[in-house]
């Protein structure tokens, strides 16, 4: 059973004939299952077998002008920057592959996206003196993709970057700042940046959403209740509420999109560090309509350290993804770039974060503080 069939059944019927917890699909692995940091019965078969959702290991890229022929203005793309190089990874491709093993600015990077949790996260692939290459196990834990590295076949939790089974159980990958933006915002900010190509050596209906209606909460709370299968749930927010999720120095904070939509900017402190959370409209949900570009506008966020040149900035919203700092009057965009004023040309440092569904962040970070 594919994840498409599985999720379609959930949405249509409100139930899920999921694989029983246990060892199903665990045959043939070189993983050391004696080493694990989570109960093994929390890990269940998600439908596809090992590498049944194929990672992209030799990614090709096209210029913005070419990608603009098949990307709509409000389509979501993952934007990743390392060592001054920026690349875009359209979710219309990521939803079918979930992992891209790449290099950005010379840094080996795994760009990942789990549709069931709406988690677009990038990791540094350098670990323990080697460069790891990641694939999709076909397993899920709390609905989130379980990745594996092809060097040791250790299993890794995508939502946290933590090794959970095998040689690297207990280890953690380093997050690289990743932002979900609309195609229009990205191409205006980075007109010369490379964009992941549809030429992947795989035949997939790119542009189509295999999870139609997934992010629409129904009267029973949406399909997540079946997919979580016994996990503890946190009712402080609706299960399918999107949150800008931040974890710094042991403290976790979730910024609900519903609240951010009202105020558009949050000047906050996380673990004693001043951060700014920007929200702007114009980004479609990749997980609602039959076509990715047809999803409703859910907006997108940027999270940045708001200390610049030893000065803490505070921001106010100007509307439509534009912001102004109160200290200098400079204007900033959703990417943390100053576009006018005394600080024009400067950029804020990005804070690693993810735009999660609340149920997914809450189950992995139950100690999270919800920003109001």
Strands 251-256 and 369-370: parallel
CA angle 133, 86, 132 (to 5 degrees): 10
Bridge partners (DSSP) listed for residue 108:
103
Identify the three-state secondary structure at position 53: coil
β-bridge partners, 246: 253, 353
SS3 227: helix
**Residue 256 CB coordination number (10 Å):** 19
Residues whose CB falls within 8 Å of the CB of residue 124, separated by 6 or more in sequence, listed in order: 107, 108, 109, 173, 174, 175, 176
Query: Please, what's the b/e burial string for 227-254 (b: 16 or more CB within 10 A of its CB; e: otherwise)?
Result: bbbebeebeebebbbbbbbbbbeebbbb
3-state secondary structure of 149: strand
**CA–CA distance, 287 with 212 (Å, rounded to integer):** 6
Question: Residue 4 has what pLDDT?
Answer: 44
Which residues have a Cβ under 8 Å from the Cβ of 3 and sit 6 or more positions away?
46, 47, 48, 53, 115, 116, 210, 211
pLDDT value for 224: 45
Asked if 275 and 306 count as a contact pair (C-beta separation under 8 A), the reply is yes
CA distance 177 to 85: 12
What is the per-residue pLDDT for 187?
96
- Residue 217 CA to residue 202 CA, distance in Å, equals 32
- Per-10-residue mean pLDDT, the chain, length 372: 43 34 72 95 91 97 98 97 96 98 98 95 97 97 96 97 97 96 96 98 95 69 48 81 94 97 97 97 96 96 96 97 98 97 97 92 94 93
Please measure the distance between the N-terminal and C-terminal CA atoms of the chain and give it in whole angstroms: 40
- In the structure encoding, which two tokens stand for residue 203, read together? 């035949």
Which pLDDT score, from 0 to 100, does residue 270 have?
Answer: 97
Residue 26: predicted pLDDT: 82
pTM: predicted TM-score of the whole model, two decimal places: 0.91
Query: Under a CB-based contact definition with an 8 Å cutoff, are residues 74 and 284 in contact?
Result: yes
- With tokens 């875009």, the residue in question is 88
């Amino acid at each position: 059973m594919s994840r498409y069939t599985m999720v379609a059944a959930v949405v249509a019927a409100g139930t899920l004939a999921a694989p029983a917890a246990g060892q199903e699909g665990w045959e043939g692995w070189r993983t050391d299952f004696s080493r694990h940091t989570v109960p093994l019965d929390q890990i269940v078969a998600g439908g596809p077998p090992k590498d049944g959702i194929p990672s992209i290991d030799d990614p090709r890229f096209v210029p913005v002008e070419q990608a603009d022929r098949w990307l709509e203005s409000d389509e979501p793309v993952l934007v990743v920057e390392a060592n001054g190089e920026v690349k875009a990874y359209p979710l219309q491709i990521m939803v079918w592959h979930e992992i891209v093993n790449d290099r950005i600015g010379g840094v080996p990077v795994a760009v990942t996206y789990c549709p069931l949790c709406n988690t677009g996260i990038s990791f540094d692939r350098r670990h323990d003196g080697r460069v790891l290459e990641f694939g999709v196990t076909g397993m899920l834990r709390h609905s989130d993709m379980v990745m594996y590295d092809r060097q040791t076949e250790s299993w890794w939790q995508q939502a946290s970057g933590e090794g959970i089974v095998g040689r690297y159980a207990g280890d953690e990958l380093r997050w690289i700042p990743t932002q979900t933006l609309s195609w229009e915002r990205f191409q205006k900010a980075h007109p010369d940046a490379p964009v992941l190509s549809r030429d992947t050596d795989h035949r997939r209906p790119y542009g189509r959403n295999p999870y139609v209606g997934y992010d629409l909460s129904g009267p029973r709370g949406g399909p997540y209740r079946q997919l979580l299968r016994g996990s503890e749930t946190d009712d402080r927010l609706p299960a399918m509420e999107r949150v800008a999720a931040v974890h710094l120095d042991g403290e976790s904070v979730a910024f609900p999109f519903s609240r951010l939509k009202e105020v558009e900017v949050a000047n906050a402190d996380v673990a004693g560090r001043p951060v700014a959370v920007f929200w702007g409209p114009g980004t479609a949900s990749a997980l609602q309509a039959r076509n990715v570009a047809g999803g409703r506008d859910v907006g997108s966020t940027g999270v940045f350290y708001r200390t610049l040149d030893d000065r803490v900035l505070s921001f106010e919203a100007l509307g439509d993804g534009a912001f102004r700092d109160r200290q200098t009057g400079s204007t900033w965009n959703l990417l943390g770039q100053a576009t006018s004023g005394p600080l024009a040309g400067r950029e804020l440092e990005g804070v690693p974060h993810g735009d999660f569904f609340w149920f997914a962040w809450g189950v992995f970070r139950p100690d999270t503080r919800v920003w109001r």
